[in-house]
Amino acid sequence: MSAENIKCCPECGSEYYAYIATCADCDVPLILPEEAEKEQMKERSKKPHRAVTSHDEWVAVREDAIEGIRELSDFLSGEGIFCKVMLAPGCSTGKCGCRYLLLTAREDAPAAHNCIEEFYARKHPEIKTSQEWESEGRCPACGYCVGHGTKECPDCGLRLMTEG
């Protein structure tokens, strides 16, 4: 699609042909790319952070369904990390339960990853406990002590993956 033949969703950033009026996922009116840029500039001016230039290389930091990507995008924006949402390669309509990519400038990617880990640690505190148990040689699901190389937890039956 050429730039003059597209509209985009102000919520998720998906691109559509200009004759389409509403985003299939967000059910909001589509806008022209110039209007989307103005909206993004307004959002950026609310919180000071590193300016993203046209020379920045964009990298994907997460892939998920639109709801999860929106949640992370809002969180990262609140943390001062500018990001974009894009439909993952494979589906061009956005109507089939598609996956979306969350993009940041390459130099913001490490900070974005740290923020995402912090977000999930707050949202799911059980993840940290599970990781601690695993590092202590315990089953990450139930905490039962398992020996090195054990393929299945004898207590809960969780199949344990071993590296090597």
pLDDT at 13 over 80: no
pTM of the model: 0.52
pLDDT band at 14; cut points 50, 70, 90: confident
How does strand 83-87 pair with strand 15-17? Answer: unpaired
**Considering the chain, what percentage of its residues have pLDDT values greater than 90?**
18
**How confident is the model over 112-137, as pLDDT tens digits?**
999 998 888 888 888 778 878 888 88
CA distance 115 to 79: 8
- What pLDDT sits at residue 54? 52
